[in-house]
Amino acid sequence: MKEKSPRYQLTSGPFTGPARTVSNSLCLLSAGVALLALATFGLGSCGSGSAEECIPECAGRCCGDDGCGGTCPDICSATGQACDQNTCECTGVCVPLTCTELGKECGDWPDGCGGVVKCGGCAGDQVCGSDGICRDTECVPDCDGRCCGPDGCGGTCSDTCSGQLGFCDVKTCTCTSVCDYQLKPTTSFRRLDTRGGDKLAPGSVSTYQVGGRDGIPSDAQAVLVRLTVVDPEEAGFITAYDAGDTTPNASVLNYAPGQTVGNTFLVKLGAEQKIAVFTHAATHLIIDVFGYTVGSQAFHPQTPYRLLDTRDGAKPAANSTTCMTVAGVHGVPADAKAVSVVLTAVLPDSAGHMVAFAGGEPVPPIRTVSFGTEHARANWAIVPVGDDGKICVHTTAPAHFVVDVTGFFEANAAYRSVTPYRKLDFQSESDATNCFQLAGDDVIPADAQAVAFNVTAV
């Protein structure tokens, strides 16, 4: 802030002692500033008059009294010497560095003793580079095909990969496309169907090998699955997670007695390449697989965690929006592009729907999860992160909701979020297969490999 001109007068009061001792009293005609002055300089009597200005006497001395109530400054360190506290004189001899010791062939450079060593110019047509080295021509940085490491001119090559949907491999200093690590869709297949045997026991955890078989590589980091419960014996929920982790406080699917319901989502795979499934109640289970990822540069899976549970407070009102910070917390980077979440509607007062969207954006005309009043409903979604680092949930009816996070997409990920929009709203005949053009339509590029969308039966 620019300092304002003072609106007061400053006078020095009477003093005693040697002529070079200045008075410790100041009279300020501004009460507010006077208080500051008193706190800084100490109390004294105010009066009129003037005093001779005290001039510190420190010539050739690096410590001790300066004759004005202060201390002589240490002037020795600037020349590589030390201050002798007994004599207050600089001791030791600073030996200036040479051009050879500095690794310089030309130009003027600090010599380490407070002076400058002159390394001269270059011979012939050579020019002196910014690094003090003579070259035939002005040094041109050489960073072709390289995103890190020395540039040949005393500098470092810059990372230009992120603008190419890639990242810089620091081992080779080359850009690696995240397209090599993005979601790999597969022909869907059924990994498990317990209806041919016993139901999963209530409160049980079952593990299933997913990676390293059925076309899923053994180094997969996440797998895209759909879990469907069939004929559960009572209301409850299911949690799916990496078998190497402990059961998290999160859910991916909620069900009512006798209901058949499913949800599709990305699940983290660890060293064992297995997923674990916890069920609250006895039920049959179906697991269908749709794809996988092999690198966190595309999708970074996490052990699911609960970001928000509104049941800890008041129930959100109808047509209300609740926003929460997701970037920069729980391991999600501050510049994350999107997050993978499971949104669960709980205890609604009436039928309605919820939509999850980026913070700072208007509520889009779509649905993330629809619900009635009978039981909790959950759905998975990839939600863009707003510029404010938040995601928001809008509900059309009074209802609690839970947000569980299962992973995130880094800033340079191949996944591209779009403002959610409604592609179709139509009535289908029974036992019909309906196909629709997505790639090359609207905002979806023609070479897209996969699309994230919701299908709602009405």
Q: Confidence class of residue 260 from pLDDT cuts 50, 70 and 90?
A: very high
Q: How many CA atoms lie within 13 A of 269 on its CB side?
A: 27
Residue 363 pLDDT > 50:
yes
Residue 415 pLDDT > 50:
yes
Residue 137 pLDDT > 50:
yes
Q: What is the pLDDT of residue 27?
A: 33
What CA–CA distance (Å, rounded) separates 105 from 118?
10
Q: What is the pLDDT of residue 163?
A: 55
Q: Confidence class of residue 328 from pLDDT cuts 50, 70 and 90?
A: very high
| Mean pLDDT score across all residues of the chain | 80
Question: Which residues make Cβ contacts (< 8 Å) with residue 360, sequence separation at least 6?
Answer: 386, 387, 388, 390
Q: What is the pLDDT of residue 351?
A: 94
Residue 30 pLDDT > 50:
no
Longest dimension (CA), the chain: 109
Contact 415, 384 (CB under 8 A): no
- For domain 184-293, which CATH number applies: 2.60.120, 3.30.420, 3.40.210, 1.10.3470? 2.60.120
Phi/psi at 36 (nearest 5 deg)?
-65, -40
Q: What is the dihedral of CA 25, 27, 33, 35, to 10 degrees?
A: 50
Average pLDDT over residues 398-409: 94
What CA–CA distance (Å, rounded) separates 78 from 111?
11
Q: Confidence class of residue 180 from pLDDT cuts 50, 70 and 90?
A: low
Q: Confidence class of residue 210 from pLDDT cuts 50, 70 and 90?
A: very high
Residue 346 pLDDT > 80:
yes
Lowest mean pLDDT among 27-31, 86-90, 445-449: 27-31
In three-state form (DSSP H/G/I as H, E/B as E, the rest C), the secondary structure along 255-293 is ECCCCCEEEEEEEECCCCCEEEEEECCCEEEEEEEEEEE
Q: What is the pLDDT of residue 42?
A: 30
Percentage of residues of the chain with pLDDT beyond 70: 81
Amino acid at 21: T
Q: Confidence class of residue 162 from pLDDT cuts 50, 70 and 90?
A: low
Q: What is the pLDDT of residue 298?
A: 65
Q: What is the pLDDT of residue 374?
A: 77
Q: Determine if the pTM surpasses 0.75.
A: no
Average pLDDT over residues 77-100: 79
Full DSSP string of 227-253: EEEES-SSSEEEEEEETTSPPPS--SE
User: Could you give the angle at the alpha carbon of 188 between the alpha carbons of 192 and 275, nearest 5°?
Assistant: 45
Q: What is the pLDDT of residue 47?
A: 36
More confident residue, 252 or 13: 252
**Report for 212-221, 262-271, 305-314: range of highest mean pLDDT:** 305-314
Q: What is the pLDDT of residue 39?
A: 28
Contact 358, 321 (CB under 8 A): no
Radius of gyration of the chain, Cα coordinates, nearest whole angstrom: 36
Q: What is the pLDDT of residue 230?
A: 96
Task: Give the total residue count for the chain.
Answer: 458
Lowest mean pLDDT among 18-22, 97-101, 408-412: 18-22
What are the boundaries of each domain within the chain?
184-293
What CA–CA distance (Å, rounded) separates 186 from 192?
17
Residue 179 pLDDT > 70:
no
Average pLDDT over residues 123-134: 84
Contact 94, 79 (CB under 8 A): yes
pLDDT single digits (tens) 272-285: 999 999 999 999 99
Q: What is the pLDDT of residue 79?
A: 63
More confident residue, 86 or 342: 342
Percentage of residues of the chain with pLDDT beyond 90: 45
Average pLDDT over residues 238-262: 93
Six token digits for residue 403: 């947000």
Q: What is the pLDDT of residue 132?
A: 87
